[in-house]
């Protein structure tokens, strides 16, 4: 079997070829070409054909016909063409939505979760208690030009008045769709089922294409995001994609519905988390935005940090984090005025790449801050349901967690997956590992991997038509295991012992030693190696079993190995510039970051 998959990004269309050889699916070739959604081309299929032409040249299979379409095989013995073609898309700014609900922390937040989970960028969330006056809300709705609107509100059988009020704000505001003045703005209602008939009446005028699905918050204690997410995907295909240049043609080529890129990434991560029974955090840091995904205890969340990115948004990262925060990761002398100008030059010429080591060090420092800020946003969004009545026993009084607490727990995190230019294309894998560790501050035992060539979107769609192929390629070709981060939670004391470790392979001791507070060390442990790592933290430091308690776990090797991090959590860098620089230099040297 031969599968061609493309991901049409804002700037680049990436194609991969997947082949079944000796009963196993492997990704064999990749190609890319500029995306052609914009003028003067205005036809996405040209870029798709160009990227698949690269696959053709590299693989030797004829995949593109003379008329520019993708060739299909009639039988398995046919030398030319492919058996399956699938695609994702984030071109033209992806899927942009406005969501609304009654209570910001409850139905509006659930609506936002549904939209984000479907792969959308949420432009704004309107709620009765969002601290804006109704006319300000209306003004905002009029300014936005979303691809579609999702309205929720009320639990089934509850009060209908509030959700109708929200609808009555949206209807007269008459938001206009982003593409084309001709077509009606798609609006999905996923609120109190008792309000449906009134909602239908409110939106019965011109300008809206209303569809109604099951309530996404049927009771306070339960979210039911599936029907809304599915409807978002349908509307994305029927309305948004159908109006984007060339997509009508692309849809006829594809064997599965075209998915928004982040929606597909979310799908594959959920599949992995479920399959392995682990907690996962995935990140995709792009030029304009950073997408963050997590699965904790089986609950999936996605956030998009709209203005945290490494090119279009690099200036915003520096403004939001502050230049001091960026420069704390830098061990070289840099002139701030010149840096600020360089940041702006990158913003206005986003496709340039660092040529010098100094430029690379600075970009990687910016990426730590972009990731750190995006993770903070994610943690505050990925929470348990708010507004739920908690039933507690006396025993809970000592360990009670409030409703709405973050689901993200760095100690429970098993796997971090890195993707996006600055992480995927870092010249050394050690750099990728350290950027992830500095930004996310994983605790206990955490495996780190990267998406080799940003294949997760392709595999997310593939999972919907051929789950076995998707899983096999994910494990063998997509994920590159970098290694492990071993870091105790708690405050370390500089110069004092933080923890001892012993790595055993069978009965042999492969490595052992002590880490003092503030120190980092790298134990090389390559692909295919497996061992048992015992970590004995000092009093007050926690490796997952409680303060001072030893933990032993199996670890697998990777391109980097085992990073022993005795800097403590939360991570605190020295305030004195000289001390800080000395520390950063020690860490970079210990992990062989720029050697």
Cβ 476 vs Cβ 439: under 8 Å: no
Residue 175 or 537 with smaller CB distance to another protein? 175
Q: What's the number of CA atoms in the CB half-sphere (13 Å) around residue 446?
A: 31
x/- map, 138-177, another protein, by CB under 8 A: xx--x-----------------xx--xx--xx--xxx---
* String of contacts with another protein for each residue 565-594, x by CB under 8 A: -----------------------------x
Q: Which of these ranges, 225-233, 306-314, 379-387, 527-535, lies near another protein under the rule CB under 8 A?
A: 306-314
Output the 3-class SS for 346-404: HHHCCCCCCCCHHHHHHHHHHHHHHHHHHHHHHHHHCECCCCCCCCCCHHHHHCCCCCC
Cβ count within 10 A of residue 122: 21
Retrieve residue 454's tokens: 């940003």
With contact defined as beta carbons under 8 Å apart, do 94 and 176 qualify?
no
CA atoms within 13 A on the CB side of 463: 22
Minimum separation from the CB atom of position 242 to another protein (A): 18
- Which of the ranges 349-357, 454-462, 466-474, 477-485 carries the binding residues for another protein, by CB under 8 A? 349-357
Task: Tell me if 215 sits within 8 A of 192, measured CB to CB.
Answer: yes
Minimum distance between the CB of residue 557 and another protein, rounded to whole angstroms?
Answer: 23
Binding flags for another protein, 421-460, as an x/- string (CB under 8 A): ----xxxx--------------------------------
For tokens 């990436």, the residue is 14
- 352 near another protein, judged by CB under 8 A: yes
Q: Strand, helix or coil at 434?
A: helix
Q: Residue 184 interacts with another protein (CB under 8 A)? A: no
Q: With contacts defined by CB under 8 A, name the span among 186-194, 277-285, 295-303, 333-341 that binds another protein.
A: 333-341
Contact predicate 543/549, CB 8 Å? yes
Query: Which residues inside 13-52 make contact with another protein, applying CB under 8 A?
Result: 31-34, 37-40, 50-51
The answer to whether residue 337 forms part of the interface with another protein (CB under 8 A) is yes
Is the Cβ of residue 344 or residue 476 nearer to another protein in the bound state? 344
Nearer to another protein, 33 or 423 (CB): 33
Site for another protein (CB under 8 A): which residue of 28, 198, 219, 552?
Answer: 198
Residues 261 and 7 sit within 8 Å (Cβ to Cβ): yes
Name the one range near another protein by CB under 8 A: 252-260, 340-348, 396-404, 497-505: 340-348
- Interface residues for another protein in 271-300 (CB under 8 A)? 288
Show the site string, 88-127: x = touches another protein by CB under 8 A, - = not.
---xxx----------------------------------
Q: CA–CA distance from 365 to each of 5, 134, 273, 314, 424 (Å)?
A: 33, 42, 30, 11, 15
222 binds another protein, rule: CB under 8 A = no
Query: With CB under 8 A as the contact rule, which of the stretches 20-28, 269-277, 420-428, 469-477 interacts with another protein?
Result: 420-428
Shortest distance (Å) from residue 142 CB to another protein: 8
Spell out the residues 6+ positions from residue 21 whose beta carbon is closer than 8 angstroms to its own.
none
The kind and range of the H/E element at 487 are strand 479-487
Nearest-angstrom CA–CA distance, 267 and 307: 24
Q: How far is the CB of 426 from another protein (least distance, A)?
A: 8
Distance of closest approach, residue 137 Cβ to another protein, in angstroms: 9
Secondary structure, 3-state, 302-344 = EEEECCCCCCCCHHHHHHHHCHHHHHCCCCCCCCHHHHHHHHH
Q: How far is the CB of 229 from another protein (least distance, A)?
A: 24
Question: Beta-strand (E) ranges in 95-213?
Answer: 95-101, 120-127, 148-151, 185-189, 208-212
Give the number of residues in contact with another protein, rule: CB under 8 A: 70
User: CA–CA separation, 480 vs 439, rounded Å?
Assistant: 19
| Contact region with another protein (CB under 8 A), list: 332-340, 381-389, 390-398, 530-538 | 332-340
Tokens read off for 64: 């593109």
Nearer to another protein, 355 or 391 (CB): 355
Give whichever of 117 and 245 is closer to another protein, judged by the CB atom: 245
Q: What is the spatial order of strands in the sheet that 24-34 belongs to?
A: 24-34, 12-21, 2-8, 84-89, 259-260
205 vs 297, which CB is nearer to another protein? 205
Residue 68 binding another protein, by CB under 8 A: no
Q: Is the backbone peptide bond immediately before 570 cis, with ω within 30 degrees of 0?
A: yes
Which residues here bind another protein, judged by CB under 8 A? 10-11, 31-34, 37-40, 50-51, 53-54, 57, 91-93, 134-135, 138-139, 142, 160-161, 164-165, 168-169, 172-174, 198, 202, 288, 307, 312-313, 315-316, 318-320, 337-338, 340-357, 359-360, 425-428, 594
């Amino acid at each position: 079997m031969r599968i061609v998959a493309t991901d049409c990004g804002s700037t680049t269309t990436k194609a991969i070829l997947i082949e079944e050889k000796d009963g196993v699916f492997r990704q064999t070739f990749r190609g890319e070409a500029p995306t052609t959604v914009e003028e003067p081309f205005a036809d996405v299929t040209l870029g798709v054909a160009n990227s698949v032409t690269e696959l053709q040249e590299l693989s030797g299979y004829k995949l593109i016909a003379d008329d520019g379409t993708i060739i299909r095989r009639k039988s398995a013995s046919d030398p030319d063409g492919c058996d399956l073609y699938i695609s994702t898309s984030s071109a033209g700014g992806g899927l942009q939505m406005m969501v609304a609900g009654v209570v910001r922390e409850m139905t509006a937040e659930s609506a936002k979760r549904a939209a984000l989970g479907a792969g959308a960028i949420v432009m704004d969330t309107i709620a009765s208690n969002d601290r804006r006056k109704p006319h300000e809300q209306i003004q905002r709705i009029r300014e936005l030009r979303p691809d579609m609107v999702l309205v929720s509100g009320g639990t089934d059988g509850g009060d209908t008045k509030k959700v109708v009020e929200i609808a009555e704000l949206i209807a007269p505001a008459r938001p206009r769709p982003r593409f084309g003045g001709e077509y009606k703005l798609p609006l999905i209602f996923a609120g109190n089922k008792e309000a449906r008939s009134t909602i239908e009446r409110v939106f019965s005028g011109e300008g809206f294409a209303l569809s109604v699905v099951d309530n996404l918050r049927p009771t306070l204690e339960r979210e039911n995001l599936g029907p809304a997410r599915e409807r978002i995907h349908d509307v994305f295909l029927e309305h948004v994609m159908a109006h984007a240049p060339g997509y009508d043609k692309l849809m006829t080529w594809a064997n599965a519905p075209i998915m928004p890129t982040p929606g597909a990434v979310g799908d594959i991560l959920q599949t992995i988390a479920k399959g392995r029974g682990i907690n996962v955090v995935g990140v995709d840091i792009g030029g304009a935005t950073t997408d963050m995904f997590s699965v904790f205890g089986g609950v999936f969340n996605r956030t998009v940090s709209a203005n945290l990115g490494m090119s279009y948004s690099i200036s915003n990262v520096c403004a939001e984090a502050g230049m001091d925060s960026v420069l704390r990761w830098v061990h070289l002398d840099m002139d701030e005025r010149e840096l600020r100008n360089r940041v702006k030059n990158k913003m206005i010429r986003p496709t340039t790449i660092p040529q010098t080591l100094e430029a690379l060090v600075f970009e990687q420092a910016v990426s730590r801050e972009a990731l750190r800020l995006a993770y903070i946003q994610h943690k505050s969004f990925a929470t348990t349901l708010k507004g739920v009545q908690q039933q507690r026993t006396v025993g809970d009084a000592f360990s009670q967690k409030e409703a709405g607490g973050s689901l993200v727990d760095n100690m429970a995190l098993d796997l971090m997956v890195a993707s996006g230019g600055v992480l995927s294309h870092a010249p050394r894998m050690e750099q990728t590992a350290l950027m992830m560790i500095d930004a996310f501050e994983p605790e206990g035992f955490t495996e780190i991997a990267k998406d080799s060539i940003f294949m997760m979107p392709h595999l997310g769609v593939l999972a919907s038509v051929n789950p076995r192929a998707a899983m096999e390629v994910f494990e063998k070709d997509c994920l590159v295991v970098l290694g492990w981060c071993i870091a105790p939670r708690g405050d370390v004391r500089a110069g004092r012992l933080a923890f001892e470790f012993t790595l055993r392979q069978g009965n042999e001791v492969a490595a052992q030693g002590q880490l003092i507070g503030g120190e980092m060390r790298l134990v090389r442990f390559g692909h295919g190696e497996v061992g048992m790592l015992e970590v004995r933290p000092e009093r007050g430091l926690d490796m997952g079993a409680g303060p001072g308690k030893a933990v032993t776990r199996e670890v697998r090797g990777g391109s980097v190995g085992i990073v022993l991090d005795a800097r403590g959590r939360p991570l605190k860098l020295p305030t004195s510039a000289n001390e800080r620089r000395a520390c950063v230099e020690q860490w970079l040297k210990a992990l062989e970051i720029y050697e």
